[in-house]
Structure 1
Amino acid sequence: MRVVLTGGGTGGHIYPALAIGREVTERQPGSSLLYIGTSRGLESRIVPEQGIAFEDVTITGFRRSLSWENVKTVVRFVQGVRRSKQLLRKFKPDIVVGTGGYVCGPVVYAASKLGIPTLIHEQNVIPGLTNKFLSRYVDAVAVSFAESVKYFDRCSNVIHAGNPCASAVVHAERDRGFASLGLNPGTPFVLIVGGSRGAKALNDALTEMMPMVSNLPQVHFVFVTGDRFYEATSLQMKQLPSTIAKRVHVVPYINNMPEVLSAASLVVSRAGASSLAEITSLGIPSILIPSPNVTNNHQEPNARSLADAGAAEMILERDLTGGLLYSHINAIMGDSARRSLMAHASRELGMPGAASAIYDQITRVNRKR
């Protein structure tokens, strides 16, 4: 099978596309992949590192207010469609799969106009502008959250498949996660992650909270700061009493996140769609602090979906303090029955077979054409 993947700007669009690509090559060895993104997005670095052929188009997003930039975006879109048609005619894909982000627009639209089968995947509860626009042209839509289906009424073929990133973590080895942190298997720990670059609000709350954790003497804390906050946070944690400091593990980044995640007793995290897919696939209880600095505030509906199901607690960033974060962590880690109920609810939401479901949809769409 020859598949074009497109989507970019953030890892939330890129990693689902790569997960779909992996599923295709595993199910059909010998398949060929081409990724079309922008030269300025993260995909221009991440995709070639995965050994996947990469081509770029130039496109920018629409602004939500009247702006001369929107006229320029229309011009770039037309040029992007023209460039995409050239790339598609050359590669001759069996299907084009888009996972959102502005670059997805001209590529998927061009494919539909060339009569090439198309599928888009939406990661968040509230769809992005690009995917809503494309839904009237594509052959199929796959969504991560059941609540998203209603937003794609212009497409007759919509499936609730889950997020393909969930499929990548199901075989993670817990013992290797403990070992990589220098912890004995079964040690209860709270994994605190502020995203790939870290989050100042979460960093400040954690620093404020740490002197309070003496009431949880058996619990360790693993804080992934991001590079920019690592040095300052490490210095602050070294000033804690030794009884607490020895239970605090500060790292800038975790390379084996699936293994560490599978070993965690509780996760404190932003509410990016890929992260939530991994958390629920493993059935981990969580405290979610959605970022307010994302398009359309899409992380808050993501977090609310888990909170409403009993799988997570949600704290809005404007309410976040060290004391409030501690009270939530203490309530969950101090009550094994509650933690077990949250884990069960999380697992009920998990869709570890998401990549396989999307692959099956791809093959169905391809056969119909």
Structure 2
Amino acid sequence: MNFKELGISENIIKVLKQNGIMEPTPVQAESISLIKAGKDVIAEAQTGTGKTLAFLLPIFENISPKVDAVQALIITPTRELAIQITEEAKKLNSAKDVNILAAYGGKDIGSQLKKLQGSIHLIIATPGRLIDHLERKTVNLSKLKTLVLDEADQMLLMGFKNEVEAIMKEIPKKRQTLCFSATLDAQVKKLAYRYMKDPVTVSIEKEEITLSNIKQYVVETTDRRKQDSLCAALDQDNPFMAIIFCRTKRRANDLEMALARRGYNCEKLHSDVMQSKRERIMKAFRNADFQYLIATDVAARGLDISGVSHIYNYDIPETVESYIHRIGRTGRAGEEGYTCMFVDPKDMRALEEIEKTIQFKIPRRTIDLEDKKL
């Protein structure tokens, strides 16, 4: 199945090729025709499977720039995701003249209001900022045709249920609703079925994107020696670009200071970092201007950065799902990925749970700290 067979027009296929996208991913192959035909779709697919284009491509096919109204709305939980979806949409827009508004916190609302005085066809928004516009009556969604709930599981986890319900009251009952989520738990299904009409479920097997081309290792250490073990691993591996995951913002702050003191080229990313700075950091990391991005799960949710060769789990993730999300950021597009997780004695139970779920005993890596000048 290629993009042409899925009904994507030649000028958009040309843009995809310019960006190195030749073949649809499984979630795109299964979703695009359904969405294009106007069906409601619930899609379960992990980060890194190409789900952003799975909904953007049919939206771009269906939008008419001649109609002076908001025709599609994409709601996403974090500013980073809103930025990322907007970047993808702007690339496609070189093939079609669609007016796009990105509405998220941290972005000057004045410039957003100014832009809204023109004609907007597509809005990409975080729930809070969209509610803001709805209350100011600066957005009119009365002619909306397609609504996308992106990362629905994360939206609920972050407590946006009330905002989503408030937005639903402002949009036409007769519309297309698309729900994309990494996991289809009971809460997501309840939300989806409440607002959808005879939805078709698209579920992409997790194994397709997990683990097959990712080398996984565990380093058994103690919390006191963890930093030294990480630095020894970084020195041995010297990765091209790596993401180092921490459990909390405080841990990320402390680790960034410690690594910077030791001379590592790194930046941190979490929800307390100002929006303008976050955008600068992400741009610099995509350009490989620095080597190590230290991030929390929420800040890194959905970030799709090519060139990440290594993932280091400085802190063990809280769930197996989170582990799979984290390591899925390497080993993209057929490249081999490498991951390393640092566990101390109190993490052993969580490690056993991860190994049981992925049905794989993760090999242990020995780090010799004696040779390292600390």
TM-score by length of 1: 0.41
Structure number with higher helix proportion: 1
